[in-house]
Amino acid sequence: MSINLTILGCHSATPRVNAHPTSQFLNINNRTFLIDCGEGTQVQLRKYKLPFSKIQCIFISHLHGDHYFGLIGLISTFMLHKRTQQLHIYGPKGIKEVILLQLKLSKTWINFGLYFHELTSKSSELIYEDEKVEVHTIPLKHRVYTNGYLFKEKEGLRKINMAKIIKNDEIETCDYRNLQLGKDFEKKDGSFLKNEELTLAPTPIKSYAFCSDTMYNESIVPIIKNCDLLYHETTFLKDKKELAKTTMHATAFEAGTIAKLAMVKKLIIGHFSSRYPNLNDFKQEAQEVFENTALAGAGKEFVV
The separation between CA 111 and the C-alpha centre of its own chain, rounded to angstroms, equals 27
Q: How far is 44 from 42, CA to CA, in rounded Å?
A: 5
User: Do the Cβ atoms of 231 and 3 come closer than 8 Å?
Assistant: no
66 is catalytic: yes
User: Do the Cβ atoms of 5 and 302 come closer than 8 Å?
Assistant: yes
Catalytic residue (one of 66, 228, 239, 281): 66
Q: How far is 37 from 59, CA to CA, in rounded Å?
A: 8
Q: How far is 300 from 304, CA to CA, in rounded Å?
A: 14
Largest CA distance in the chain: 76
Q: How far is 270 from 212, CA to CA, in rounded Å?
A: 9
For residue 251, what is the DSSP state? B
Q: Which helix (H) or strand (E) holds 153?
A: strand 147-153
Burial state string for 180-200 with b = 16 or more CB within 10 A and e = fewer than 16: beeeebeeeeeeebebeebbe
Enzyme catalytic residues:
66
